[in-house]
Amino acid sequence: MGIKMSYKIAIASSDEKMIDESFGSAKRFLIYEITEDGYHKAEERIVNEGTGKQQSEISQLQNDSSKQGCSPNADCGTGSGCGTGAQSGCGSGTGCGSSHAVSEKVLLVSDCRCIVCKKIGFNVQKQLERKAITSFDVDCSIEEALQKISFYFSKIDKHQSLRGFRN
Amino acid sequence: MSFNLESSNVATRENRIGSITGYIGSLSDLANQSKCGTLKGCSRCFSQSSSCLSSCALNQLSAIRDVAIIHHGPAGCSVAGANAYYLDKVMARKRGVTTSTVYVGTDMNENDTIFGSAESLRRIILEVNKRYSPKAIFVSSSCATGIIGEDIDSIVDDVKEEIDVPIVAVHCEGFKSRIWATGFDISDHAVLSSIVKPPQQKRNTINFKNFYESARPEIIEMFKNFDLEPIFLYCNSTVEELSRISESLATTCICGTLGNYLGNGLEEKYGVPYIRTINPLGIAGFEAWLREIGRVTKREAAVEKYIEEQRAIYIPQIEEIKKELKGLKAVLGMGPGYTFEVSRVLNELGIEVVWALAWHYDKKYENGDVPPSMQYLLENDVDFEASVADQQNYEVMNILNKYQPDLYLSRHPGSTVWAIKNGTPAVYVADEYMIFGYKHTLEFAQSVLDSIHNRSFEKNLARRVKLPYTEWWYKQNVDEFLEEAKTNGKAVG
Amino acid sequence: MAKLLDKQRYKCALGAMQTVQAITRAIPILHSGPGCAQKLSDSIGSSGYFSPNIFPCTSINEKDVVFGGVKKLETTIENSLKVIDADLYVVLTGCIPEIVGDDTGEVVSHFEDAKKPVIYASTAGFKGNNYKGHEQVIDAIIEQYLEKSDEKEEGLVNIWADVPYQDLFWLGNIRELEKLLEEIGLKPNTIFGYQRGIENIKKIPKAQFNLLVSPWVSVGNMKKMERKLGIPYLHYPTLPIGAYETSKFLREVGKFAGVDDITIQKVIDEHENYYYYLIERYADMFLETRVMAKQFSVVADAQYALAITKFLVNDLGLVPAKQFVTDDTPKQFQENIRKEFENLNYGLKAEVAFETDGYKIHNEIKEHDYHGYPLILGSYYEKELTEELFGHYLNISWPVQDKVVLDDFYVGYTGGIRLIEDIYSVAVQRWN
């Protein structure tokens, strides 16, 4: 329970090297897949420029991403990976229906375990949090971020201590 | 919609910057941004202490009668148990009931952070169960247990066989959320997932989520007019009562931030309608709220009759006192569940809000709407300066210093003191029913007036104390420490 | 090892932010979660020049765990220096940075040349309780701020006593101890409370000796100062309450400081004359109350359990039932403290339990036969219990809900009278 063999991380980067874009300004997200053996870039997702996106499209998007075999967030379950306790059941997450106007970008990455960008708004963080998606606003290279994050999650998932993590 | 990041002049709106864990701008901007989903937050490079989500979560749960809270962590985390003990005792005594709720810690030490403490926790759970025979057990994690990877879910699963009451793991790793009000959601989640049972039969009850049920007797009386019986949550609730809240006709809450998760949860899972009006504070709020309850429970006629009777008693008195309040200027700082509601009431009373701070801002409610309190202000053309700041006292001081309002209103412990040191009279809107309905709106207006009429205390104190901030700080803009938010392009979120 | 902390009576090491708070114009900077300060503060009496809601805090979140929190700490310290007008900045670390290994010391070292001193103390919650945290803060001051002084000031004595805020009477007590020392001709120096602060800290190395009035807290600090600053110390384990203990205290301090007997005796006589004038007038109250048994229990930290036991036995002639020390006293000190409890007038010995589990304490109190209505001095947890036993209850230890103390005190001759007033204000509520 709670242990994921693989998961996805969405990254906002313009040059595929540095994390140099804010959540708000990102035009696309690079999706990396993290497995037991390491990580690799799986795909790119382009942000739809239209502001008044139709609900049906959003639902479609969501359904599509589920079909692609990404684990839905609700599966993130009650493991310690989802600290808010708000992750499953009611009122949030993918279970409560896509008819609600959650931010489109959030939906775009809603199958990812976490999002990494240079800056991220407080309210987006909250929306993500309710969907059990972790957000990191950092200023470093993609490689560094992926290494640190995957190491962190591997420890958390296996219920291993982060003692001396920094060293 | 676009904010000028270069500006240093805080006093004019067009030059104000946007975005925050913080946001600074006008209310209408905040709401419009919120509507089109462009509001952005930003993190700080300097912040002062605020709150821990475990406080919100476990204070709620420990108010339930005859349960056990086991807070697994160092002694500082479970220190809230001391206050919970006191509150449980005095609240039960006031209501004339008894409670055997316990809130214990595990005094985690360095050894535990190295070798883990799963076995100790297991033993502690069983011992607490043996000592107190609680009706439900909540086992909470902490930052330290989260960091060392303690698997409290497995431990709880493990002991389930040996314990015949609901036992649930409650995740309170403070570092995992920046929004302490998430704690309310956490407690609701625990109750919904482990205690609430599917309805057996519908009853004429209404779930009323609140903090300390101070207006309980009068609300019971009021609801008798509509043949409704309120069940107050969670203070002094019993596990049995909670198990049946799915049978109620509706759920309502004194504060949106507090009740949101439970209300929506009960609605989705068990079809119990959640009353989503502005809060029952002030006249407009109280009436809108009552009418919605009337509509949802099909008691419109009785509600209208009640409103008419009460208006006849109170409206003339409120009108009278408004004459004296006219022209006063106020600054307020509260949780988002209150800031915009209280702003509205102040507006009803003729007090001008010059700045409103919300400690955080729920951009979208669970159902996707702009918060009703804000919707109302927009529809009624009420606008003022607003900011979102997670209890950043240095910002409040800066604002008070610049605007010198007639009064400051807040509802978080320790916050009023800073206003009076500034010489600003402060009204502590602590009790959630302080502005409830006609009667308390009148009382509130009176206490505002009393606070303004005698300013001796704050003047005496302000004259003698030195404020803790440097001269340098007072010369800065309020947004000094908001890291720049890059708002190029069509930002979403 | 983790243990059941039922009815907890202390905080964690980070609670030492209150020790910093008690030093006027010193401010703690917390490298911790956002809510630690709020949790560890007391809801009343915290709104001084600095209050917990303005303590700068790095508000550690998940990002800081994964990517490190030292940068945030650096900007937080930097901006604290700019925004907050303080004399001393004390960085305190919480659980997370200590477990993951943030190098706080390295960050703080960047501020060696700052205009104001910045020091740090390791106060992770799991390192111990706030009594230990208090020691950590004092140690930090000794190690990182103080230098040995060749110049000594004749008669200057540093006084160390209680853990501020954890001890309800810390402010009044320390002032009263100062007064007593002044009366026998010494020059007291303390760092806590009104008009004390950085200047007093600077004076520490010039003292003739350190006076520690506490059963165990700060013994380590005294040894550290002896080693580093060359200041000898007198460890006086009993907080003196009432005439008997206070006179004994003055004699011993006087002897250590080299004050002549005549001066000491004169001070003692003056106080005792007034003290017994009061006692004489109220002796009827002590003797003729129908409602109070001769036996009592104290449930408190070592400081108060011992001090009040000695006062009630040696001064008022009561008889000790079992006493409970709840501060998680380190093992190495327990034996000496136990001996103090056994060293009472008329060969009386008080049985003492070092116990942090409130459930066990309550059971023992319930099972004991006090031969009448007991007198229980303890924390708020003992209120309901004492009511069940029809006893008399006084809230003297943390948590406190039954008493508001601004600068009241129990130490010394006057303090003894205050304690009597408090006890009998409870007793006279009943006739029989």
Query: At the topology level of CATH, where does C156-271 sit?
Result: Rossmann fold (3.40.50)
Asked casually if ipTM beats, i.e. exceeds, 0.90, the reply is: yes
Q: Is the minimum CB–CB distance between B417 and chain C shorter than 8 Å? A: yes
- Residues from C contacting A (CB-CB < 8 Å) are 62-63, 65-68, 99-103
- In whole angstroms, give the CA distance from residue B227 to residue B220: 10
Q: Does residue A132 lie within any of the structural domains?
A: yes
Query: In B383-427, which ranges are continuous DSSP H helix?
Result: 393-403, 415-421
Q: Tell me: pLDDT of A130 over 80.
A: no
Which range, of B31-45, B186-200, C372-386, averages the lowest pLDDT?
Answer: B31-45
Chains touching chain A at 3 or more Cβ pairs under 8 angstroms?
Answer: B, C
Q: Tell me: pLDDT of A55 over 50.
A: no
Higher pLDDT: B359 or B6? It is B359
Quick one: pLDDT at residue B381? Answer: 75
Which residues on neighbouring strands pair with residue B137, listed in sequence order? B68, B167
Which range, of B223-227, B302-306, B367-371, C9-13, averages the lowest pLDDT?
Answer: B367-371
Q: What is the DSSP letter of B369?
A: P
The bridge status of strand A38-46 relative to strand A28-35 is antiparallel
Higher pLDDT: B393 or C258? It is C258
DSSP secondary structure of C45-108: S--SSS-GGGSBB----HHHHHH-SHHHHHHHHHHHHHHB--SEEEEEE-HHHHHHT--HHHHH
The H or E element containing residue B351 is: none
Which range, of C37-41, C195-199, C321-325, averages the lowest pLDDT?
Answer: C37-41
Quick one: pLDDT at residue A40? Answer: 92
pLDDT band at C290 (very low <50, low <70, confident <90, very high): confident
Q: Count how many Cα atoms sit within 13 Å of the Cα of residue B485 in the half-sphere of its side chain.
A: 32
User: What average pLDDT score do residues C208-213 get?
Assistant: 98
Q: Does residue A34 lie within any of the structural domains?
A: yes
User: What average pLDDT score do residues B325-337 get?
Assistant: 86
Which range, of B132-141, B435-444, C61-70, C387-396, averages the lowest pLDDT?
Answer: C61-70
The bridge status of strand B137-140 relative to strand C209-213 is unpaired
Q: Does residue A166 lie within any of the structural domains?
A: no
Quick one: pLDDT at residue B285? Answer: 94
CATH 3.40.50.1980 domain extents, chain C: 13-144, 156-271, 286-431
The H or E element containing residue B434 is: none
Question: C34, C341, C210: which is closest to B179 by C-alpha?
Answer: C34
Chains touching chain B at 3 or more Cβ pairs under 8 angstroms?
Answer: A, C
- In whole angstroms, give the CA distance from residue C327 to residue B145: 23
Quick one: pLDDT at residue B357? Answer: 81
pLDDT band at C285 (very low <50, low <70, confident <90, very high): confident
Number of domains in chain A: 1
Percent of chain C with pLDDT strictly greater than 70: 100
Q: Does residue A165 lie within any of the structural domains?
A: no
Quick one: pLDDT at residue B397? Answer: 79
- Torsional sign, CA B188, B191, B193, B196: negative
Q: Does residue A116 lie within any of the structural domains?
A: yes
Query: For the domain bounded by C286-431, which CATH number is listed?
Result: 3.40.50.1980
> pLDDT tens digits, residue range C157-196?
999 998 999 999 999 999 999 999 999 999 999 999 999 9
CB-CB contact of C301 with C406 (8 Å): no
Give the global pTM. 0.87
Burial C164-180 (b: 16+ CB within 10 A, else e): bbbbbbbbbbbbbbbeb
Burial class, B291, CB count within 10 angstroms (exposed 0-12 / middle 13-18 / buried 19+): middle
Structure tokens at B184: 């309310």
> pLDDT tens digits, residue range B213-232?
999 999 999 999 999 999 99
B40 → closest Cβ in A96, A118, A121: A121
Contact A137 B43 (CB under 8 A): yes
Quick one: pLDDT at residue B346? Answer: 94
From residue B482, how far is each of B3, B45, B46, B485, C293 by CA, in Å? 13, 7, 8, 8, 63
Which range, of B121-130, B203-212, B460-469, averages the lowest pLDDT?
Answer: B460-469
Q: Does residue A164 lie within any of the structural domains?
A: no
Name the residue range of residue A74's domain: 6-157
Closest Cα of chain C to A138: distance in Å? 8
- In whole angstroms, give the CA distance from residue C391 to residue C329: 28
B74 → closest Cβ in C37, C59, C125: C125
User: What average pLDDT score do residues A146-158 get?
Assistant: 89
Q: Is the minimum CB–CB distance between C149 and chain B shorter than 8 Å? A: no
Q: Tell me: pLDDT of B332 over 60.
A: yes
> pLDDT tens digits, residue range C109-125?
999 999 999 999 999 99
User: What average pLDDT score do residues B205-212 get?
Assistant: 96
To 10 degrees, what angle do helices B80-95 and B53-62 make? Answer: 30
Quick one: pLDDT at residue B389? Answer: 62
User: What average pLDDT score do residues B465-472 get?
Assistant: 84
Which residues on neighbouring strands pair with residue C159, listed in sequence order? C211
> pLDDT tens digits, residue range B145-183?
999 999 999 999 999 999 999 999 999 987 876 555 678
Query: A residues 70-129 near B, CB within 8 Å?
Result: 78-80, 82-86, 89-92, 96, 99-106, 118-127, 129
Quick one: pLDDT at residue B188? Answer: 93
User: What average pLDDT score do residues C307-330 get?
Assistant: 97
DSSP secondary structure of chain A: ----S-EEEEE--SSSSB----TTT-SEEEEEEEETTEEEEEEEEEPP--SS--HHHHHHHHHHHHHTTPPPGGGGTTSTT-TTS-SSSSSSSGGG-TTS---HHHHHTTTSSEEEES---HHHHHHHHHTT-EEEE--SBHHHHHHHHHHHHHHHHTT---TTTT-
Quick one: pLDDT at residue B181? Answer: 67
**Domain harbouring A20, CATH code:** 3.30.420.130
CATH of C13-144 among 2.40.50.100, 3.40.50.1980, 3.60.15.10, 3.40.50.720:
3.40.50.1980
Q: Tell me: pLDDT of C335 over 60.
A: yes
